[in-house]
Amino acid sequence: MSPERFHFILNLYNIFPPVGKYLSWRGRFVAKHIASCGDNLKLASRVNIYNPQHLSCGDNVYIGYNTYIGGGMVRLDDEVVIGPFCCIVAGNHTMKDGSYRFGPYDAGSIEIGRGTWLGAHVTITNNVKIGKGCLIAANSVVTHDVPDGAVVGGVPAKIIR
């Protein structure tokens, strides 16, 4: 399926409320079009997956309202919970002739470990690995790897405990 058709159909699913059985409906549709997917993927409405072929999800993953996932490879392990309005971008623009507009795109990867929870409005930048069982506080910008079990927050995110 072309990316345009994928986004068109996903947007049709957005007419349904971001609750109940509609979370599973969107999840079942997306599961068929991403690189790999475990059981029970749930998506709230208005989720934007820019490159579905670069997204892998484990079992029991939830992606919150109005979240953007794009760039290079993104791997969400089992039981990852992503709050609303998150931005997960596995790539960067580079400069060419003094401008970022036409510089080549640098695709990277992001890995989010099992049982991790991203609060609302979290941004994860290129080439970051977040460990298992982490809590990323709301409004944080994660620019470096996070060890297992850490609670991080801030801009840029730092270990709180």
The catalytic residue positions are: 93
Instruction: With beta carbons less than 8 A apart as the criterion, state whether 134 and 150 touch.
Output: yes
Give the β-pairing of 135-136 and 151-153: parallel
Sheet holding 81-82, edge to edge: 42-43, 62-63, 81-82, 117-118, 135-136, 151-153, 158-159
Q: Give the Cα separation of 59 and 37 in Å (integer).
A: 7
And the tokens for 156? 């840029």
Instruction: Answer positive or negative: Cα dihedral of 128, 53, 27, 84.
Output: positive
> Phi then psi for 104, rounded to 5 degrees?
-65, 150
